[in-house]
Amino acid sequence: MTGRGLLLAELEHIVANCQRLLSLVRAEHHGYQPRPQMRTLLELANHLAQVPAADYRIMRGDAETQVSAYEEELRRVSPDDWRSVMREGAAELARYIEHLTHDNYENGSCTAYYGRTQTNAQWLLEVITHIYHHRAQLFTYLKILGYDVNTRTLYE
């Protein structure tokens, strides 16, 4: 399997895992916020679900205002809807990556609105890393709130 194939398989794996975690979130905990400067559970669930779609927009060069407006369009309140947003965003990103030529995947680049330039291969790794980061946050929020989550929840 190629490096691109391995990363796309990892994207599929982490999205499925996050979808299982998102399905656990109960509405009565939406307002939970560990500290004032941190996201609420509702904000975190939305952000995590939006990462594939929003990061795809960033990597293709959309302006910050466009990405923010798109994130607002994707805002949802239910686990089923978060799961759909995440699944659809990951599928759109994967289709884009799969259709790149080898040269464009390895060497084609884009500069994000915040100034970072990376190749498409680097962007794909960045998206996966971003998802893992917020999955860890979600897991921690759920653990603090007393949800029945453990290491198996993360790796099954």
Which pLDDT value is given to residue 94?
Answer: 98
Tokens standing for 120?
A: 């498409």
Domain spanning 3-24+40-155: CATH 2.60.40.350 = no
Which pLDDT value is given to residue 37?
Answer: 96
Task: Decide: 45 and 71 in contact? Cβ < 8 Å.
Answer: no
Q: What is the pLDDT of residues 33-69, one digit of tens each?
A: 999 999 999 999 999 999 999 999 999 999 999 999 9
The separation between the first and the last C-alpha atoms of the chain, rounded to the nearest angstrom, is: 22
Which one, of 79, 55, 54, lies nearest residue 69 by Cα? 54
Task: Decide: 82 and 46 in contact? Cβ < 8 Å.
Answer: yes
Which pLDDT value is given to residue 156?
Answer: 76
Residues 142 and 17: their CA atoms lie apart, in Å, by 14
Q: What is the pLDDT of residues 59-76, one digit of tens each?
A: 999 999 999 999 999 999
pTM as predicted:
0.96
Residues 61 and 71: their CA atoms lie apart, in Å, by 15
Residues 47 and 8: their CA atoms lie apart, in Å, by 21
Which pLDDT value is given to residue 39?
Answer: 98
Which pLDDT value is given to residue 155?
Answer: 85
Confidence tier at 12 by pLDDT (50, 70, 90)? very high
Asked if residue 15 has pLDDT above 80, the reply is: yes
Q: Residue 24 has what DSSP assignment?
A: T
Q: What is the pLDDT of residues 109-149, one digit of tens each?
A: 999 999 999 999 999 999 999 999 999 999 999 999 999 99
Q: What is the pLDDT of residues 89-117, one digit of tens each?
A: 999 999 999 999 999 999 999 999 999 99
Which pLDDT value is given to residue 98?
Answer: 97
In sequence order, what are the residues at sequence separation of 6 or more whose Cβ sits closer than 8 angstroms to the Cβ of residue 98?
Answer: 8
Domain boundaries, the chain: 3-24+40-155
